[in-house]
């Protein structure tokens, strides 16, 4: 079953790295990106090149409700989480939903409610926007890893940075021996603005002029991380 992007919420902040559920006010969410069973990243029926570098500018969290007839998500029932709001108990939501509203997936009935992450991506060279929605365990793992590494870098650098990523895959153990899952390979971290002082806001994205508007953040040394010198 593929996931898809649902309607865009009203917004007040840029990203969900520091406070899960912060949303933006963009109407255009960009091309839908999918991770296929062949471990390819596809947008608009085109396989994205492995050398493509995108900036992860936002993470949205969404509680999605799938219609039983297979026609897709019910936008009236789905909703974005607010800042600081945790996902509800999805298993309990499904248990409380009549089986007449469940749908068939992979040969068995499945409840209509799912937790969904949506990673918002920006091509700094072209200003093309992409969105990667996922409701799978592997997808959630890739988002959690991206978020944690970004948060760690922000703590170390003391400023709001964003990860420049390449779209990859990595092995994930499962009860059936394991398989490949999505993976965001972090190439470097950047801030936005000619001097690195201006943080990208979603509504400001079209005003950027390309890679020259980004400042690469230097990775700190071990001494800087622990604020002490390591003696051997």
**15 part of a folded domain:** no
- What is the rounded CA–CA span in Å between residue 197 and residue 215? 9
- What is the rounded CA–CA span in Å between residue 201 and residue 194? 15
Angle at 166 between CA 161 and CA 169, to 5 degrees: 125
**12 part of a folded domain:** no
Strands, E assignment, 17-146: 31-35, 41-43, 46-47, 54-65, 79-80, 103-105, 108-110, 113-122, 129-134
**20 part of a folded domain:** no
Which two three-digit tokens encode residue 62? 């969404």
Above 60 in pLDDT, residue 77?
yes
- What is the rounded CA–CA span in Å between residue 177 and residue 46? 30
Mean model confidence pLDDT for the chain: 81
**189 part of a folded domain:** yes
Query: Could you give the number of structural domains in the chain?
Result: 1
Select from 50, 58, 71 the least CA-distant residue to 25: 58
Contact 67, 112 (CB under 8 A): yes
Contact 25, 203 (CB under 8 A): yes
**5 part of a folded domain:** no
* % of the chain at pLDDT higher than 90: 61
- Sign, Cα dihedral of 187, 150, 59, 4: positive
**150 part of a folded domain:** yes
pLDDT in tens, 153-168: 999 988 889 999 999 9
**232 part of a folded domain:** no
Above 50 in pLDDT, residue 216?
yes
Which residues fall within 8 angstroms of residue 32, CB to CB, at 6 or more apart? 4, 5, 43, 44, 130, 131, 133
Of 107 and 213, the structure prediction assigns the larger pLDDT to: 107
Coil/strand/helix, residue 210 = coil
**14 part of a folded domain:** no
**pLDDT class for 29, splitting at 50, 70, 90?**
low
- The domain in which residue 196 lies consists of 31-226
């Amino acid at each position: 079953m593929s996931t898809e992007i649902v309607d865009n919420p009203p917004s007040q902040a840029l990203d969900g790295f520091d406070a899960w559920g912060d949303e933006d006010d963009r109407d255009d969410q960009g091309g839908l990106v999918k991770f296929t069973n062949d471990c390819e990243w596809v947008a608009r029926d085109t396989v994205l090149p492995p050398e493509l570098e995108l900036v992860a500018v936002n993470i949205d969290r969404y509680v999605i409700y799938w219609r039983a007839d297979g026609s897709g998500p019910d936008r009236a029932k789905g909703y974005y989480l607010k800042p600081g709001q945790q996902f509800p108990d999805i298993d309990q939501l499904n248990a409380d939903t009549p089986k007449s509203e469940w749908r068939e997936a992979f040969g068995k009935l499945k409840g209509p409610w799912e937790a969904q992450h949506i990673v918002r991506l920006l091509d700094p060279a072209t200003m093309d926007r992409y969105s990667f929605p996922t409701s799978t365990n592997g997808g959630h793992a890739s988002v959690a890893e991206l978020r944690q590494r970004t948060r760690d870098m922000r703590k170390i650098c003391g400023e709001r940075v964003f990860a420049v990523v390449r779209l990859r895959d990595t092995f994930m153990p499962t009860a059936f021996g394991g398989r490949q899952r999505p993976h965001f390979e972090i190439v470097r971290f950047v801030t936005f603005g000619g001097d690195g002082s201006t943080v990208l806001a979603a509504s400001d994205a079209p005003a950027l002029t390309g890679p020259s508007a980004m400042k690469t953040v230097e990775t700190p040394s071990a001494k800087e991380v622990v604020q002490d010198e390591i003696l051997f």
